[in-house]
């Protein structure tokens, strides 16, 4: 009898636990106001579990065909059903099915599934989409009870997409810094152009004033003057060395010219002496040794004259090279200055274009600051929702409840930026 009462008590507790679990499942399935009439759609994910069978838990993604692949059953059509209807169909499909559960010791336990034991919940709803004047448009996870205000928050908040300014105050500071740096570059290129044109012998009356500190403008001017003086000084040193080399070679040529005359006279005297000795030898009035000595003297004087001529020719060629280098110094300096001047003009044109763009950005940013701070009206929000009977457009508000798959469109009051574009930084970017 005691054993029978214990069994009945255990059975009563099991049935009570089962009813409690079913009641808890029913409470969990009660939808929020926004989901009261929600119908499951492809993209939703369900979770099926049987509390009495811990191993029986399955996550089911609803496919594009509206079906889920249920263990022990196969494909089940759930698209277009409410959560309660899906609960009834899935629970009815699993009713009286046997589930074999393996144990750690290798045994197998067979469970008979009852319909009231099956618990269905939505594991994940279809995402919502937010686009328009928000910081991060895109796809976001839906949470039950979600409102338009919360959707905008997860999308990064409102953003003036029409001007692409996340923080006008910070961007204005960046643009001002860039604007000043560009003017400093502009002034530097202007000073370089003035220096190069002065080196080329052009008359440059003045450099156009630019909005840079006076100290910087003065330093640039002094640096340009010092650069000119240094380059001219270096050029004059090279020219002076070449002039001295030309003078030395000219002096050597004069000495060799005198030496050549003497060598020619000596060679002629030796040649005349040789002819005289040969005539006397033919008459038998001179010995043979005297003729040999005269021949050696002619050879030596001829060789000396030839060496003098070759030496003079080499020095003359070297003198010509010095003169050519002397003449090239100015022309090469002019060619280099012209090439550098062309690059400076190109740099100045690019800086002018960047200055104009930055000035426009500054003007737009300043206009955006005042416009965004004083713009009247609230953001316009529209919710696009897909229902069984077709698409629906809802005039939204920040407190409107959302449903899975909703598309939220956000439009801020448009700012009028007409006339905000600044004029060109300078009418003439290049000094005259």
Same domain, 317 and 385: no
Residues 264 and 399 in one domain: no
Q: What is the structure's pLDDT at 139?
A: 92
pLDDT tens string 110-134: 777 787 878 888 888 889 999 888 8
Instruction: State whether 148 and 247 are in the same domain.
Output: no
* Residues 143-183 pLDDT 10s: 888 999 899 899 888 875 444 445 565 677 788 888 889 99
- Residue 23 and residue 254: Cα distance in Å, rounded? 128
H or E, element range at 386: strand 380-387
Domain assignment present for residue 30? The answer is no
Q: How does pLDDT run across 77-110, given as a tens digit for each residue? A: 888 888 888 888 888 888 878 777 777 777 777 7
Total structural domains within the chain: 3
Query: Are residues 206 and 338 part of one domain?
Result: yes
pLDDT band for position 206 (50/70/90)?
low
Q: For residues 237 and 311, state if they share a domain.
A: yes
Share of the chain above pLDDT 90, in %: 20
Element (H, E) at 168: helix 168-199
The Cα 25–Cα 49 span in angstroms is 11
**205 and 344 share one domain:** yes
Kindly indicate the confidence band of residue 282, based on its pLDDT and cuts at 50, 70 and 90.
Answer: confident
**Reported confidence tier of residue 303, pLDDT bands at 50, 70, 90:** very high
Residues 154 and 230 in one domain: no
| Domain of residue 175, CATH code | 1.10.287
Cβ atoms 27, 71 nearer than 8 A:
no
Does one domain contain both 271 and 383?
no
The pLDDT of residue 5: 42
Asked whether the whole model's pTM tops 0.75, one would answer: no
Pair 187, 221 in one domain = yes
Tell me: do 287 and 174 sit in the same domain.
Answer: yes
d(CA 209, CA 292): 90
Tell me, yes or no, whether 151 and 104 share the same domain.
no
Q: What is the pLDDT of residue 2?
A: 39
CA 379, 380, 383, 384 dihedral sign is negative
302 shares a domain with 185? yes
Rounded to 5 degrees, φ, ψ at 408 are -105, 125
pLDDT of residue 370: 55
pLDDT at site 304: 92
Percentage of the chain exceeding pLDDT 70: 81
End-to-end CA distance of the chain: 120
Q: Could you list the residue range(s) of the whole structural domain that residue 108 is in? A: 39-124
Span 36-52, average pLDDT: 82
């Amino acid at each position: 009898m005691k054993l029978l009462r214990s069994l009945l008590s255990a059975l009563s507790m099991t049935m009570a636990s089962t009813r409690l679990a079913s009641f808890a499942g029913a409470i969990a399935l009660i939808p929020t106001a926004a989901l009261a009439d929600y119908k499951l759609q492809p993209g939703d994910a369900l979770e099926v579990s049987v509390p009495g069978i811990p191993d029986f838990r399955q996550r089911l993604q609803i496919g594009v065909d509206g079906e889920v692949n249920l263990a022990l059953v196969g494909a089940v059509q759930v698209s277009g059903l409410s959560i309660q209807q899906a609960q009834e169909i899935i629970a009815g499909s699993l009713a009286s099915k046997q589930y074999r559960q393996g144990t750690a010791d290798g045994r197998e336990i067979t469970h008979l599934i009852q319909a009231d034991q099956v618990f269905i919940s939505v594991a994940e709803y279809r995402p919502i989409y937010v686009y328009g004047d928000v910081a991060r448009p895109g796809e976001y996870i839906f949470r039950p009870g979600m409102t338009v205000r919360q959707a905008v928050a997860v999308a990064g908040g409102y953003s003036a997409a029409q001007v692409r300014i996340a923080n006008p105050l910070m961007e204005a500071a960046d643009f001002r810094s860039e604007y000043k740096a560009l003017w400093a570059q502009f002034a530097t290129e202007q000073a370089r152009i003035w220096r190069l044109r002065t080196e080329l012998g052009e008359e440059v009356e003045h450099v156009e004033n630019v909005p840079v500190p006076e100290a910087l403008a003065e330093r640039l001017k002094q640096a340009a003057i010092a650069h000119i003086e240094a380059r001219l000084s270096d050029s004059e040193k090279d020219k002076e060395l070449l002039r001295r080399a030309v003078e030395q070679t000219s002096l050597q040529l004069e000495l060799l010219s005198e030496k050549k005359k003497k060598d020619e006279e000596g060679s002629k005297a030796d040649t005349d002496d040789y002819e005289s000795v040969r005539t006397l030898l033919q008459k038998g009035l001179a010995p043979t040794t005297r003729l040999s000595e005269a021949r050696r003297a002619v050879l030596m004087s001829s060789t000396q004259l030839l060496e003098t001529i070759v030496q003079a020719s080499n020095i003359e060629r070297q003198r010509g090279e010095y003169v050519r280098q002397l003449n090239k110094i100015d022309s090469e300096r002019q060619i280099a200055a012209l090439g550098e001047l062309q690059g400076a003009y190109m740099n100045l044109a690019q800086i002018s274009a960047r200055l104009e763009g930055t000035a426009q950005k500054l003007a737009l940013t300043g206009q955006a600051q005042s416009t965004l701070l004083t713009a009247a009206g609230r953001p316009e929000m529209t919710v696009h929702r897909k229902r069984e009977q077709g698409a629906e457009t809802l005039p939204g508000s920040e407190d409107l409840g959302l449903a899975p798959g909703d598309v939220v469109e956000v439009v801020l009051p448009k700012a009028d930026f007409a006339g905000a574009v600044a004029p060109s930084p300078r009418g003439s970017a290049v000094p005259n």
